Structure 1
């Protein structure tokens, strides 16, 4: 993921070990309460706040790091970059990835209270609040105070202020995060992952039609299916989407809504984008597409691995998809035939054919990385997090080791030509061999990393450039949805789960009047569930965010 934005430890001796095993695995760190939380009254660190804490101890240690994305496949130690980071810091990582449904795996761990050392999770995931409320994760600010005050030298104060909870603590650090100041500084270079993609050769063969209107969209899908019924002996899939999950499909949610440039607020109140006439009209367009045989059954059941395989085979004609999630497959297609790649074009639009408002990097970021109260070594964990957040860590993760994967070329530190060549030719092979760039994205500061990114090359350049000028910040709406076990959170979860059941039914409706009945029933279900309390919560959070933003911008 390229540019996808900006995103704490001298030790105290262990006073008490409960078992010999605990002593050996914990490397002698304490200053915690019996429940694993950091002691707020503990003595502050005597470490030099101007020196990286990780340098004080580099003996070998392995942390378990849970990544709440089933598609994540990197293996620490397999590539040159992770080998270099381990050689430098002493830290190795054992990644834990859910084999199937991420929420089921994470909820099971939360219920048991047994979490790995590090957890990386989508910032909007309901489990974030569950872990905080359940005291399963440690406040980073307390860890920094006690073990590594250097964290405050490298962490972005705007991000820490934004992520501070009502109890005054910060429990996670974001990746791909950009403040309003970042938008002022880097905004012209900001891109979005949200794209509408078409297969270049097929699209041009049917006359490069305008697909911004429902009629033009359906006609293009029909034309592609008629002209290209098969791709290498396999049926063409006219339209690809993101995964269908238990809460819907993001391609038919925020992704589509942003293409339609639907506002987030109207008259100072949160806008119900789900009931917007343009949005409903486009959902009906997809229903009609299914009626016409233009929605393959595959799109309702395939997960990302299956989708990646079909992208690499060029079996989709059009896709409402994230460009960053298919870049490796698109590079493979490009090597086979530059005309067989997927390109970004203008897709579904509102009635006025307004330019889309694509989601750019918000201050809350894409994911949060948190430290579990069960962490085997608080000091080393906090130091490692500080290192990864720092410019030194960002550079190491981006470029790897000097003389191995990068050199100073023409006065600039940059990846070696052979590394860039493999990245552009075969992203998967490059990840396994080199591990540079965004292989380890969990704490990536995409603004900082711009200075080390190689120039964009085709086919990624076209899809990336297409999003420039259409990318906006939705930071004001970060974290406005209720989560956890609050009344509003329970209602929101119930409504979201219902939408996950309703959305496929809308697509499979035989006629528009059947669609209308299903949609009306959903709105009634939402009302009966108490959805007005969710909206009231959202409005209150927006006002809080506005005040936060004003304070940050002063």
Structure 2
């Protein structure tokens, strides 16, 4: 029994049951072709019909290759439906018989459990970098793509264009989809109708931001005669991540980098030991004590936060826009017909500094496993999803069925698109969402997008306020200890915010506990990485 098997044997039964839940939960939803967008967070499984999968223009005599793909879903996608014609078309073009298993968005633990149980798909999408992916590479569970590069022109071109850092000893064990490097849609959002009612402009400074929150809390903008409205609302982080929803306040006070900072000796230290962190915390504590922040934010996920916003329980929130403009404003108007979504740059601090968006160090990683009997065919499936041919199929559908085209004008057949699980208003098929690209990265908006100007403008606004990283890549120590130190950070941040602990004492304790939880190893690794970068600040 190899090392990987030894690590998982004790949990075998539990893991196998949990992995099966990805499929079992999906089976109960397979017939629900009319489910709402938010139901895409339920796990989904779909096996395509094989009626069209037995023909292939290049190899009609070969039996179609049975290929299983395990991936994470997306909040904006609809569930897969039975007898999906897009899946059938992929089968036809690639001569495969595709089975797709979709876990809820961000549910990488379910992906890890499925792999650990031994129930390997041919192709898998998960989070990268991660200790799981590192283990899978070491144990030979993931296969390098290098041997098939002559059949993967799109993948190879993208790997050669700035993704060389993802290679392991010169081998690429998957396609790392890193989103948001050059563009962001992360903004401050607010009830524009409330600001108009209160005679307020979008806040440009921290002082104006605080005044706006106070007006929302104290002046009854929803007109129900009750003091039941909070100013700012956010949500808890994805499990294992650090809480960053208040970071725009820290950047306003001059925090220079998103990940770490340098001390007077030029050494890399935790960012919470920079003076701007203390100033930001003191500002946030004041907001919290004045009930300007929803005190239960740490209990909310993103959908719950948005529901509070739609239901007039809060007037300002953070979050992504671009393709979400119509969704958020549409949902707002369902509850409040006169509701209007507004957005603005992050507020500037005393010295005019501001920031909000950060460049990621993580990716969605799509790889071929050693379960694949035909790894070249599995790699070609990833290439297809990333290629222009694949993107056109997943975003537009089959010409003459899902859309027609005259010159550059596209007419969407929404009735036919709905039958195959396309999101409404020209948006894409479930398989298009988030595994190898996002709409924002390729500037994709359907021609029917009603808010196309605001959607594009939200990206323009957000992308002006990137905050750099001091260290450009995640180290092995960060992968190993990141979850543990983030748990410590989050707990202390919330306690500091709520005034449960003195600021100076809390920051000092945070530094001590953070280092004990693995921070010492992290600091050693990031200081070494910083020296390798040859960066001077």
Would you call these one fold, judging by a TM-score over 0.5? yes
CA deviations on 1:2-38 (whole Å, 9 max, x unpaired) are xxxxxxxxxxxxxxxxxxxxxxxxxxxxxxxxxxxxx
Deviation at 1:168, TM superposition (A): 1.7
Cα separation, 2, equivalents of 1:208 and 1:437: 41
The residue number in structure 2 matching 1:294 is 292
Contact 1:437 1:453 in 2 (8 A): no
The residue number in structure 2 matching 1:454 is 447
The residue number in structure 1 matching 2:52 is none
SS at match of 1:317: strand
The residue number in structure 2 matching 1:522 is 510
Contact 2:69 2:122 in 1 (8 A): yes
CA deviations on 1:311-349 (whole Å, 9 max, x unpaired) are 444543101222258442323436887862322113333
Q: Structure 1 residues 193 and 61, CA, compared in 2 at 3 Å: closer, same or farther?
A: farther
The residue correspondences of 1:220-235 to structure 2 (distance < 5 A) are 220-228=212-220, 235=228
CA deviations on 1:397-436 (whole Å, 9 max, x unpaired) are 2222222333333x32x542665x999xx9x995169652
The residue number in structure 2 matching 1:174 is 176
Contact 1:397 1:436 in 2 (8 A): yes
1:94 matched to 2:96? The reply is no
Cα separation, 1, equivalents of 2:342 and 2:161: 34
Q: Structure 1 residues 307 and 66, CA, compared in 2 at 3 Å: closer, same or farther?
A: farther
Structure 1 unaligned residues grouped into runs of 5+:
1-52, 180-189, 548-554
Q: Mean alpha-carbon deviation: is it higher for 530-539 or for 54-63?
A: 54-63
Q: Structure 1 residues 251 and 532, CA, compared in 2 at 3 Å: closer, same or farther?
A: closer
Cα separation, 1, equivalents of 2:485 and 2:450: 43
The residue number in structure 2 matching 1:118 is 123
The residue correspondences of 1:4-43 to structure 2 (distance < 5 A) are none
SS at match of 1:293: coil
Deviation at 1:543, TM superposition (A): 5.5
TM-score (structure 2 length as normaliser): 0.71
Q: Structure 1 residues 288 and 258, CA, compared in 2 at 3 Å: closer, same or farther?
A: closer
Structure 2 unaligned residues grouped into runs of 5+:
1-55
Q: Structure 1 residues 447 and 213, CA, compared in 2 at 3 Å: closer, same or farther?
A: closer
Q: Structure 1 residues 505 and 64, CA, compared in 2 at 3 Å: closer, same or farther?
A: farther
Cα separation, 1, equivalents of 2:470 and 2:160: 14
The residue number in structure 2 matching 1:441 is 434
Q: Structure 1 residues 283 and 67, CA, compared in 2 at 3 Å: closer, same or farther?
A: farther
Q: Structure 1 residues 379 and 153, CA, compared in 2 at 3 Å: closer, same or farther?
A: same
- Which structure has more relative contact order (CA 8 Å, sep 6+)? It is 1
SS at match of 1:219: helix
Deviation at 1:172, TM superposition (A): 1.8
Deviation at 1:86, TM superposition (A): 4.3
The residue number in structure 2 matching 1:284 is 282
Cα separation, 1, equivalents of 2:72 and 2:194: 36
Cα separation, 2, equivalents of 1:432 and 1:175: 25
Q: Structure 1 residues 62 and 227, CA, compared in 2 at 3 Å: closer, same or farther?
A: farther
TM-score (structure 1 length as normaliser): 0.69
Cα separation, 1, equivalents of 2:421 and 2:101: 19
1:132 matched to 2:137? The reply is yes
The residue correspondences of 1:351-390 to structure 2 (distance < 5 A) are 351-356=350-355, 358-359=357-358, 366-375=363-372, 377-390=374-387
Q: Mean alpha-carbon deviation: is it higher for 117-126 or for 467-476?
A: 467-476
